[in-house]
Structure 1
Amino acid sequence: MTVIHNPIYSSHRSSHSHSLSPSTEKNRVLPAPNQPIAKKMGGDISVLDQNILYICNKMHSLKTKLSPKEFIHAFVISAEPKVSYLQRHGAQPKGINSTMALVDVIGHEIKKTPYGREAWATFIQQEAIKILQSEEPPRGNYPVGGFHSSASVNQDFFTLEEKEAHSTQLVKHMPFLYKTLMGILNPNNMVFPVEPEESPSSENNNPEGAAREDIPEDIASIAYEDSHQGPEGHHRRLETEYMNYIGLSSSRRTAVSALKTLAKEQSKKLKSIMAKSSNLLIRPTICIDNIDMEERVHQSSIGHWTHTFRGTWGYVHLPDQKLLATLDPSELTISAYYQSLEQVKSMELNPTMFLPTLPEQEHDKKVWKSQIAKVLKEQIAESTNEDLSIPTSPPEIEVISHAAPDLHMLKLMDASDNSAEGIGQVFESIIQQTGLTGDQFFAQLQPMDGDLATIQNFNCLQNQQAPSSVPEYCMNNIVFQLGASHTLWNISSAIFSHHIGDPSNMLDCGAWQHLEALGFAAHKAIQKKDFTLMVNQMERIFEALLCYCLMVKLDLNLGKLGEERLKLPAD
């Protein structure tokens, strides 16, 4: 066996400096636990292992035997100036990398046994607790500190900007907790790219053997697919469950207290807005609608049964200042309103008033062509020249303002607007919430929105109190108009109901047969509480009819509609 002199021991005896140079210590990084630490020199033992054995034998041959653990422990905690000088770079930028590598190697060695893993987990847990106890956001009431009282919370607390500011403060003052939670939610540091929504008919969305939770749900005979499966879906489900646990652990008493505080603030703000409305060109619009809430009891008993609350909800919509600047103030008074009503009596109605103009007819033609081109491209054929083909998107129309409306909610009213008496109680509650007197409320033109039944009940109440010269009784300052959503629903429902046909008659060729052929239950098509679903079914029937007409026109096989598309010229 070749004898190799120990370079570390030799340099220790010959050199007065007992540490590595700063440049050497800075660039030195300990090897990973599974990485070979040195090359073998002509034998079975590497040079570094020989040096380790030599040093261990020397420590064991001392009068007071010293084990490697005792040596490292004493070396780190020693208060001797010379020893402290040797390990002066251990926690400094020059030597922190090698120090943490040493800790990692020791931890890897400890975790080789069950006892070691348990001891290591306990040690890390204690260190994590110490770090978390040392990190905390500023104490005190908001905005100086991070405490939000339910007795002083306001609406600004729920804005997106305030939420982001609160999250930024938590991340800034508690980085260890933030990184720990994010590491648990995303253990592999995966980055999920934002992809466009896939079509429900895309392939391989549900491979065989998929987990039960990945199977699309079937609601109202429509399959809703989960486009976020795999790791991304697991990440989102984990976040949802985590937030659900936070919600369940929240105090109900605190939440109710916060709601009461917000209600008081909103009540004061609403009264202030309505008090200033007398100086505006037009009062804020008051929108109301009925609401039914059922408290269901599964096992009824005396005095304990299912109860239905029938009330009215609403909000105050402040007019846009830009819109008010374009209006004539002289046309927004009660006298101008009465004068316009008098002119309606002598107005001659001409059928041409309800017909579209030439520009509107041209727009309708372009819409029809785009709808036909869309069905043709998606289901039957492709154009050989996309530049010359008809666009599949309809032409643009007049775009309304996309600015968020300024809305202020009214308190839920324990009065239903489904009768003349009920609508009167609703008005009493509105006047009370606005803080105005009867004379003030009925002295200025008041626009309101509601559905058709609400307007009919209001007209019934108004007719019962006519004739009357008292503004509180005649209520001539109230101007009701149908809400946009109610109007659209009524028109769409009337059109669909006219074409749906009789599902009980198999000889009836109404739209219900198309729905059944498309796999949708006809009796669920017209949903009063789901306007979007009703419109979607109308679109499906319309596209199916267009597809049938195009296939007949092109003399195609009606029983075969595959994925392959025909190639048709653009002209």
Structure 2
Amino acid sequence: MTPKLFIVGFLTSGNSDIAYQRRFWGTHTGWQSTAELLRVIKAVVLQAQDGATSWNQFIEEEAIEIMNNKLPPTGNYPEDSFYSSHTVQPSFFCQEVVLAREHSIREHMPFLYKILLVTLRLPPGNNNKVIEDNNLDPYEEELLVREGIQYESAVTLSTQSKSKKVAATICSMVAFSRNRRINGLQLFNSVRFLGAGITERMDQYFHLLSLTSSRQTALSALRTLLTVDSRELRNSMAIKESSPIGPSICIDNLDMEEQVHNHSVGHCSMMFHGTWGYIHHPNPNLLKLLDPSQLRLSLYYDTLSKVPTMKITLAMFMPSPVEEVHFEAVLKSQIARVMAQYIAKPAHPGIATNPPPVEKIDPSPPNI
């Protein structure tokens, strides 16, 4: 009997005494010694070139078997992973829901995700740094601000965050390729890319790569979202006795230029044109401070009738003496703080280093 036949017989024998001897091989208690045995077998096999090739092929077959059984559930959302374009809601695009979808992919495809994550990470000792596209000179930055040009610095993900994002995206692409009902990322991308102006041909290419759903699915999702938004818009514009002032309709025409100072291929200044609008609800806390009897249309017309005879004075546009004193105290406190921090602290400070309190503004976000 060869050693291999002995090991096979020992592991497959139905004898109760032999089975008792190997009872801990696959449990948590005995796994450490079992893993050491497997590593020893691996070391012996890898000593030969043919053995290394056969071992890699064996591991590859085992990995395929593991991944074949790892997919997210294909039932309907919110229990499972299928999002219908006929029932999609605006909350589908919230950051919390996006992170929840990525977490679900990681939980249901851990083997593939971990392999991709380890593969994408930089090896130890590699000092490669992420190259940032923002090479704006600080002095030029100040000039742009003075000219009224608004800009945002490029935000670069860390290597670790980028690797996690790429690994989760690839897992989603694989899952969608195997089963079209695992479509969270694809439906999200198809609607987002349609709004960004991606051409239909490019969308077909992304759909081929399992990055997006079909264009028809995106249009169907937009029609569903339009129905939801239309209903919310009607409810928002409805007359309510509890609110004496209705929401404001704001519509703006956009002519926005994205100015690029370091031109390169595919990276140049662009002009964006479009129209956007929103409904702005007044703050309920502010409405409570108003006198409802003064919010009548007749009083509004009466005030407008006095505009032609209104006497406009310069004092209307100038700060009051109290405001002037307050502003002066703010400037002095800032100068005193800098002097005390960088030059010297006075023995008997006569000017406070903290600015005087200001009238607090409600920091709650507007209801738009």
**Do they superpose with TM above 0.5?**
yes
Aligned to 2:160: 235
Partner in structure 1 of residue 342 of structure 2: 382
Alignment partner, residue 7 of structure 2: 72
Q: Does 1:134 align with 2:97?
A: no
Q: Distance in 1 between matches of 2:298 and 2:103?
A: 55
Give yes or no for contact 1:138–1:146 (8 Å, CA) kept in 2. Answer: yes
Q: Give 1:289 deviation, angstroms.
A: 0.8
In the TM superposition, 1:229-308 aligns within 5 A as 233-238=158-163, 248=206, 249-253=211-215, 254-277=217-240, 280-292=243-255
Distance 1:80 1:155 in 2: 62
CA shift at 1:290, angstroms?
Answer: 0.7
Cα deviations across residues 210-262 of structure 1 (Å, max 9, x unaligned)? 9796366435855999997xxx8433454566688766522351334323322
242 and 110 in structure 1: CA distance in 2 versus 1, 3 angstrom threshold: same
Residue matched to 2:358:
397
CA positional deviation for 1:283: 0.8
> Which consecutive unaligned segments of at least 5 residues does structure 1 have?
1-64, 191-209, 295-307, 408-571
Aligned to 2:37: 102
- Which of the residues 13, 16, 19 maps onto 1:84? 19
Check whether the contact 2:121–2:159 (CA below 8 A) recurs between aligned residues.
no
Aligned to 2:195: none
C-alpha spacing 1:211/1:85, structure 2 compared with 1 (3 Å): closer
Alpha-carbon offset, residue 291 of structure 1: 2.6
Residue 120 to residue 371, structure 1, CA distance change in 2 (3 Å): farther
- Are the structure 2 counterparts of residues 177 and 100 from structure 1 closer, same or farther at C-alpha, using a change threshold of 3 Å? same
Q: CA RMSD in A?
A: 4.1
How far apart are the structure 2 equivalents of 1:309 and 1:97? Answer: 61
| TM alignment of 1:478-497, pairs within 5 A | none
2-structure distance, mates of 1:175, 1:140: 20
Question: Is 1:218–2:135 an aligned residue pair?
Answer: yes
Aligned mates of 2:116, 2:35 — CA distance in 1? 23
Q: Unpaired segments of 5 or more residues in structure 2?
A: 143-151, 174-188, 190-205, 258-270
Change in Cα spacing, 1:372 to 1:263, as seen in structure 2 (3 Å) is same
Q: Distance in 2 between matches of 1:405 and 1:319?
A: 8
SS of residue matched to 2:276: strand
Per the TM alignment, residue 347 of structure 1 is displaced from its structure 2 partner at its CA by: 3.8
TM-score, length-normalised on structure 1? 0.45
Structure 1 258/111 Cα, relative in aligned 2: closer, same or farther at 3 Å? farther
Structure 2 counterpart of 1:334, one-letter code: L
- Matched position secondary structure for 2:11: helix
Which whole-Å deviations, capped at 9, do the CAs of 1:290-347 have from their partners, x for residues lacking one? 13599xxxxxxxxxxxxx9965321001222222222222222322211222344444
Partner SS, residue 80 of structure 2: coil
Mapped contact 1:154–1:265 kept (Cα < 8 A): yes
Max Rg structure: 1
Q: Is the 8 A contact 2:113 2:168 kept in 1?
A: no
State how far apart, in whole Å, the 2-side matches of 1:318 and 1:342 are.
28
Shift in CA distance, 333/113, structure 1 to aligned 2, threshold 3 Å: farther
Secondary structure at 1:214 match in 2 = coil
Q: C-alpha offsets along residues 78-112 of structure 1, whole Å, 9 cap, x if unaligned?
A: 22333222211111232122112222332344344
Contact kept? 2:73, 2:80, Cα under 8 Å: yes
Question: Which AA in structure 2 matches 1:218?
Answer: N
Mark the CA change 1:150 to 1:107 in structure 2 (over 3 Å): closer, same or farther.
Answer: farther
TM-score (norm 2): 0.66
Query: Which residue does 1:324 correspond to in 2?
Result: 287
Q: What do residues 350-402 of structure 1 show as CA deviations (whole Å, max 9, x unaligned)? A: 4333332333223311333355467778xxx9223399597888655334333
User: In 1, distance between residues paired with 2:224 and 2:363?
Assistant: 31
| Alpha-carbon spacing, 1:327–1:186, altered in 2? closer, same or farther (3 Å) | farther
